[in-house]
Amino acid sequence: MPFVRKLSHFVALSPGEIAVLNELQSDRLVVRRHREIITEGRTYDCMYVLIQGYAIRCQVLRNGGRQVLNVVLPGDIIGFPVTFFERAQYTVTALTDAMLSPIPHASLISLTKHHPRLAAKVFWSFAIEAAMYVDHLTNIGRRSAVERVANFVLEMLVRLQVIGLADENSFQLPLTQEQISDAIGLSAPHLNRTLRELRADDLLDLQDRRVIIKDIEAVRALAGFQGYHFNRLHLPEPARAIDGEGQPDLAALFATADVSQH
């Protein structure tokens, strides 16, 4: 289960919590390539965990311009923030045939009640999405074309490594150059020229939907890559927790596993 794998990378999960998470993702749903998973303007009562496949979140402007907000990888949750509003803010499209697991909002609320600490961990993980948007923002707002490509490629590398879909310095990525260019705010021709430059300098190569980073250190230096949000999440630990109300069952509240029936 890629979601558990990814979440484990960011925060400790007890066996009981893992069981609950797997239970949550027991429903399955298949979406074919190029179909929309979420459609802008519509209403949704659930989120989706992407079990297998790839997708993009995407906004379209009246003049035809597109912004690819984000690439969705296996283990990512589709639905934050988009399904939390009465009308979806953007569209999510499957890039490949994809397998999803719907998670009704009601289940999340229910989790909040019955497994509060686990729910907090899930909500905490939404911070990762938000942090990625933040980094994209600086990337697009304040960097040159080469720097943008370098950052994009490094982000993908690290995210794919977390879920075991990238090796040391290369990975598959089912995006066309046009989609990549829409993700980093460039025109497709200019992205192509920028890639040529990077290839000429032996920094990285992109062919047949495969990215090979030939000189990671150089690319990292070029990108000014920080990647703070690939650090672990920071939840209060039981030992340090302080609660003004002095609840009697405080210790239980902050116990690592709040799952009793397993």
For residues 77 and 111, is the Cβ–Cβ distance under 8 A?
no
| Interface residue with its own copies, options 91, 136, 145, 204 (CB under 8 A) | 136
> What are the tokens at 178?
């046009």
Using CB under 8 A as the binding criterion, the count of chain residues that bind its own copies stands at 77
Does residue 14 touch its own copies according to CB under 8 A? no
Collapsed DSSP state (helix, strand, coil) of residue 99: strand
x/- binding map, residues 202-221, to DNA, per CB under 7 A?
----xx-x------------
Residue closer to DNA, measured from CB, 120 or 188: 188
138 near DNA, rule: CB under 7 A: no
User: Contacts with DNA in 13-72 (CB under 7 A)?
Assistant: 65
Reduced to 3 states (helix: H, G, I; strand: E, B; else coil), residue 71 is: strand
- Least distance in angstroms from the C-beta of 212 to its own copies: 26
| Closer Cβ to its own copies, 33 or 42, answer by number | 42
140 is an interface residue for DNA by CB under 7 A = no
Q: Helix, strand or coil for residue 98?
A: strand
Question: 157-196: which residues touch DNA (CB under 7 A)?
Answer: 176-178, 185-190, 192-196
Report in angstroms how near the CB of residue 210 gets to its own copies at its nearest: 25
Indicate if the alpha-carbon torsion angle 109, 162, 259, 24 is positive or negative: positive
Q: Which of 51, 92, 145, 183 binds DNA (CB under 7 A)?
A: 145
Nearer to DNA, 3 or 171 (CB): 171
Site for its own copies in 188-207 (CB under 8 A): none
User: Do 75 and 116 contact (CB within 8 A), yes or no?
Assistant: no
* DSSP structure class, residue 169: S
- The two tokens of residue 109 are 């609320």
Q: How near is the Cβ of 161 to DNA at its closest, in Å?
A: 23
DSSP 172: E
Q: Please, what's the largest Cα pairwise distance for the chain? A: 65
Q: Does 110 bind its own copies (CB under 8 A)?
A: yes
d(CA 86, CA 202): 48
**Residue 249: what residue type?**
D
Comparison of 208 and 249: residue with beta carbon closer to its own copies: 249
Angle at 99 between CA 93 and CA 101, to 5 degrees: 100
The site for DNA (CB under 7 A) is made up of 65, 144-145, 176-178, 185-190, 192-196, 206-207, 209
